[in-house]
Structure 1
Amino acid sequence: MDQPRRPGRPQIADPDRIALEAVHLFAERGYDAVTMDDVAAASDISRRTLFRYFEHKQDLVWRDFRSRFIEAGAPDYSGVADGIDGIRESAAGGPPMDAEEERLLRTRMQIIGANPDVFGAGAEAMEVLRKAMAEHFRKTLGALEAEVASSAAVSCMVVAAVWWANQDEVSLADATDAALVRLRDGLG
């Protein structure tokens, strides 16, 4: 027979598992229809434990990106070509995704693209990426130009990922590369 939890002892929880459970719920019911209480119940944790790891519902969607860009550190663009071609090279060289990873990323990007509040919650992760790109661009550009180029490149990559999430015929790598090539070649 299970013993009831003692009051005051924190539950052990896996934030990655909780975020994954939340994404499954968002895909099944829709982002707006799912509450933090729903996520806690589906994750078999208390509401209090959930809020220990995730202050806002949007944070559940961005968990994977936060892990990749904030907790793991900024991307390293050393050893790639200068300028936007180096960013393209780095983006193309990412690890391959299996079918489940791709499905989850599509779902996350669909949610991000459809909800301005969720999109805005990713600013911290995007800023880490942008700063790393700005450093890369400073090798060949002035300070202002590097800031502008890095902001434009991050925007291109995010918009390409949101667009890709709603397509079936194109890979994320191809969508990202097409957007960055267009940026490189000018939009005129």
Structure 2
Amino acid sequence: MQPATKRGRPQEADPRQIARVALGLFERHGFDRVTMGEIAEAASVSRRTLFRLFPSKSDLVWDGLDEVRDLVRQRAATLARADLRVAGVLREFAEPFLRRLDDPEAAELARKRLRLLAAAPALLDHPPLREIEALIATTMAGRTPSGDTPPTLVARTLVAATFAALMWWAEHGEGMSALAATRAALGALAPTDET
């Protein structure tokens, strides 16, 4: 007698696990050399499921960024009238996420992503990241030290400096937290700002 086969809806795919599998492939073979088909096969999901969860390869690298963007949106709404400078932006927007990297497993995953970003800088042009910049710029509108500096310029510079500090941390920051590396870098760039 043949064993009964299960029918019905297939087991739900774990997006976090799929992203981890993809990061491993990107790390071993390079971002540009890995295809979505190879990722689907390695993650044991159909191509259809993979594309439903991650419409592009860059979405696999940025897994979780939509959640960050949503939280930044909430913070920006509550800080609309706050007088934020560099240290304030770091404290209000980046610290909650950087503190999560105190967990060794989260830190290792972040280091993998950051090393990948350093090797493929085009990945930094990702729509949710640009939305985060715009939210920060909106929060800073009219509050830049010189008053005539475009808030979008300040926001993009802060995000770029933060990523540069984090990329350094990914490569050289053993024994230092992501938050400490970012604070040190931004503090060196804006030493007269609040700390």
Q: TM-score normalised by the shorter chain: which range applies?
A: 0.7 to 0.9
1:20 maps to which residue?
20
Task: Percent identity, please.
Answer: 31
Using CA pairs below 8 Å that are at least 6 residues apart, which structure has the higher relative contact order? 2
**Do 1:11 and 1:49's aligned partners in 2 also have CA atoms closer than 8 Å?**
no
Provide closer, same or farther for how the CA distance between residues 26 and 157 of structure 1 changes in structure 2, counting only shifts above 3 A: same
Could you say which residue in structure 2 is the equivalent of 1:67?
67
Q: 1: distance between equivalents of 2:20 and 2:188?
A: 33
Whole-angstrom CA distance in 2 between matches of 1:42 and 1:117: 24
User: TM-score, normalised on structure 1?
Assistant: 0.78
Unaligned runs of 5+ in 1: none
Counterpart of 1:88 in structure 2 is 90
Alpha-carbon shift at residue 130 of structure 1 (Å): 1.1
Q: Deviations over 1:31-63 (max 9, x none)?
A: 344332221122211112212222222221011
Query: Judging changes above 3 Å, is the alpha-carbon distance between structure 1 residues 41 and 2 closer, same or farther for their aligned structure 2 residues?
Result: farther
In structure 2, stretches of 5+ residues that fail to align are none
1-side partners of 2:55 and 2:16: how far apart?
15
Query: Are the equivalent residues in 2 in contact too, given 1:106–1:166 (CA < 8 A)?
Result: yes
Q: In structure 2, the residue corresponding to 1:140 is in which secondary structure? A: coil
Quick one: distance in 1 between partners of 2:4 and 2:124?
Answer: 42
Figure out how many residues of one structure are paired with residues of the other and give that number: 181
Residue 172 of structure 1: aligned partner = 178
Aligned counterpart in structure 1 of residue 105 of structure 2, from 86, 100, 103: 100
Counterpart CA distance in 1 for 2:73 and 2:67 is: 11
Aligned to 2:118: 113
> What RMSD, in angstroms, separates the aligned Cα atoms of the two structures?
2.9
